[in-house]
Chains A and B, each alone.
Chain A
Amino acid sequence: MKIEILGTGCAKCKTLEEAAKQAVAKIGGFHSVEKVEDIVKIMNYNVISTPALVVDNVVKSSGKVLSVDEIVKILKES
């Protein structure tokens, strides 16, 4: 799975990135977690409220800081 965190660098984005890493550690396996700060890339996902969580190029949530458990749930469903 390719997991991306979209955010321009505010505190919320960092919190979400941290939570995503913990979620990945929880479910195990090899998944890449990448922080996307390039505004053009963010726009290409059609996201206007950051931070956003993208799994395999699909936007799963935007404008929210998800908890570790919420991310685990999203990752298991994908």
Chain B
Amino acid sequence: MFEWLENFSYIIVFNILNLEKHSPISEALSFFIYDTLKIFILLISIIYIVTLLRSYFPIEKARAYISGKNKITGHVLAAIFGVITPFCSCSAIPLFLGFLQARIPLGVTFSYLISAPLSDAVVIAMLLSLFGWKIALLYIGIGLFVAIIAGIIIGSMGLEKEVLIEVKPIDEMNYKEDETKFRHRLRESWEYSRDIFKKIYLYVIIGVGIGAFIHGYIPADFIALYAGGDIWYAPIVSVVMGIPMYSNAAGILPLVEVLTSKGMLLGTALSFMMAVVALSLPEAMILKRVLSTKLIAIFFAIVGFEILLVGYLFNAILQ
């Protein structure tokens, strides 16, 4: 699909810049040009399509569906809705309280809160185009599993008193159907995609830049030796590294792509990515306004532990 881009990057590196073939600098540079452009094209088109589709699934609709379902169904639905509804970390609090107001149990609310950033539709589409459908499906399945199980565990611990703000239940859930015209939606989605792109393009360039450096200068053996498969603690290191890093998953994917091609096991790489997107310090700070530190710590511990399990599981299966 992207051969023309590869050729384009070769033309720049070998014909225009006249760099020597198979040298680290030409390897790194051609990779950088090729991968940056490829990811940009993928990102813009994927975000645009996903945003357009998502405008038909507002969070309010999801909330109305989930409330009143029994618990297990609630967890499953909440996790699935997490994949398709839009979510940005600044809406974490209103969303969280809005779910509780609708009498959706705490655990089910957490299933949504975990699933939404973890299995973002844009990330899934990117995984699909970079790694193929098997990995994408496996990732979705595991993302849903983590969200459902973590939600059930948190729900069973009786932590309702750890919500620091009084939640007044509401009864009427008048959800007004959005009658925005299709042409209007097209324009809105475009504006939204442009905004997102502006926000993350730098991260992508940095991610690909690091990737290109690794690609050209660091031999595969090096990564295999220090972050590779046979080291039992590799997933732990990657999760601990991932938490303070806060990036959009789309920004971190190029790095994951390079690391795996250099010998890092996919489970370790996915653990890293999940830790970056699902457990972020900024999100914890936002949630601190409504949740006790204890509940946030429990939330991080459970999700972190599950992400680790996922890493080990993936490494064991795909070996």
Contacts and interface: CB of A to CB of B under 8 A. Distances in A.
Interface of A: 8-13, 39-40, 42-44, 46-50, 62-64
B165 interface: yes
Contacts of A43: 94, 97-98, 101, 167-168
A7 to B, nearest CB: 8
B58 A49 contact: yes
A48 B90 contact: no
14 contacts: A8-B93, A12-B88, A13-B90, A39-B94, A39-B97, A40-B165, A46-B170, A48-B59, A48-B60, A48-B91, A48-B97, A48-B99, A49-B58, A49-B95
Contact of A49 (B91, B168, B290): B91
B90 A42 contact: no
A50 B91 contact: yes
B63 A39 contact: no
A39 B93 contact: yes
Interface in B46-63: 58-60, 63
Contact of A8 (B58, B63, B90, B99): B90
A77 to B, nearest CB: 14
Given A39-B290, A46-B170, A8 B98 contact: no
B90 A12 contact: yes
Given A11-B90, A50-B94, 6 more contacts: A39-B93, A42-B94, A43-B98, A49-B86, A50-B90, A50-B91
Given A39-B165, A43-B168, A49 B90 contact: no
B289 interface: yes
A49 B60 CA distance: 8
A62 B59 CA distance: 10
A11 B95 CA distance: 17
Nearest to A61: B178
B78 to A, nearest CB: 14
A47 B58 CA distance: 12
Contacts of A63: 58-59, 86, 91
B304 to A, nearest CB: 25
Interface centre among A39, A43, A62 (most CB of B within 10 A): A43
Nearest to A40: B165
